[in-house]
Amino acid sequence: MQGFAGFLWLLSVALILFSGFALIDAATRREDAYRAADKKTKPFWLIVLALAFVVNLIFNILSFLPIIGLIATIVYMVDVRPALRGLPGDGRSRRSGGSSSDGPYGPYNGGR
């Protein structure tokens, strides 16, 4: 019986890490990338994934709420994330590099 409890604990930790990774990934994507990929909005996915993360922290794995959170996390990871990653720029926030004069093929040189 102790081995089964250990397995459930490891499974619970894995679900927490999985939902946490999905939440961090969703938070680092640009808002317009969700619209460009024709998916729900960024706030929608942040709320859903944050709820899944909190539910995984609070409830036992044998409850039905963590299973619902797992389903939402899987939907994000297999449907939304690949669509966002397929966009130019990987759908991530631009924090450094590039300038405002950069075009799609490199820096704009003023027609020279």
How does pLDDT run along the chain (112 residues), one tens digit per residue? 788 888 989 999 999 999 999 999 999 999 988 988 889 999 999 999 999 999 999 998 888 899 999 999 999 999 999 999 888 876 665 555 555 556 666 666 666 5
Tell me the whole-structure pTM to 2 decimals: 0.75
Q: Residue 36: which residues within 8 A CB-CB, separation 6 or more?
A: 87, 91
> Which H or E run contains 106?
strand 106-107
Residue 92 falls in which region: left (phi positive, over 0), alpha (psi -120 to 50) or beta: beta
